[in-house]
Amino acid sequence: MPLTSAQNLSQNLAHQIDKAAEALLAGGVIAYPTEYCFGLGCDPRNILAMKKLLNVKRRKPEQGVILIAANLDQVQEYADVNKVQNMESVTSSWPGPNTWLLPVKPNVSQWVRGKHASIAMRIPDHALCLSLLATFGHPIVSTSANRTGEQEHLDANAVRHDLGKECDYIIDAPVGGASNPSTIRDALTGATLR
């Protein structure tokens, strides 16, 4: 019995997610769809991968990066959530396009947190992202797939045209329906930064 197009798409996405996770594990930089636009990602534990991603992005290391996680356990690998009095406000906004600045654990690399005492994290509301994070088993970097200061890319073809030679893998799937980048808020002060 032949597969329907929905089944083919599902198998195709599963295959792409596996390939992207392999690229991450090998220290590569990937591009993948998020709620709003395509993101660039790598394994934040791999310093060489972080350097490569920041070079592709043309981003200064002291700025730090956003990490996306599949669940609160993954968030707690980087953030000291015990220092946040109103953690329920944070967790009730996830999954969703809500990035929170959380107190960073002392062992987190400056390549990830930059010059900050906090780390920017979110649990995305995008099924493909969550599947990628579950398959990889660890948070990944999530910065928009464009050079710093340039327009975000909304599809895989645009990423391929602009950054294809510098990406180790590009997941070809649609972005979510968000019309803006994620909100960024400080979990300690409640201040909205974006």
83-132 pLDDT, tens digit per residue, is 999 899 999 999 999 999 999 999 999 999 999 999 999 999 999 999 99
- What radius of gyration, in Å, describes the C-alpha atoms of the chain? 16
> Within 26-97, where are the H helices?
47-57, 72-75, 87-92
Rounded to an integer, the average pLDDT of 51-64 is 94
Least Cα distance to 180 among 72, 25, 29, 34 occurs for 34
- What CATH fold (topology level) applies to the domain 7-186? DHBP synthase (3.90.870)
CB 62 within 8 A of CB 127: no
For the chain, the average pLDDT equals: 92
Measured CA distances, 54 to 76, 125, 142 (Å): 24, 25, 11
- Show me where the domains of the chain are located: 7-186
Per DSSP bridges, beta strands 30-33 and 169-170 are parallel
At residue 128, the 3 state secondary structure works out as helix
In this prediction, residue 177 has a pLDDT band, given cuts at 50, 70 and 90, of confident
pLDDT value at 191 more than 90: no
Quote the pTM value: 0.92
CB 104 within 8 A of CB 119: yes
CB 64 within 8 A of CB 115: yes
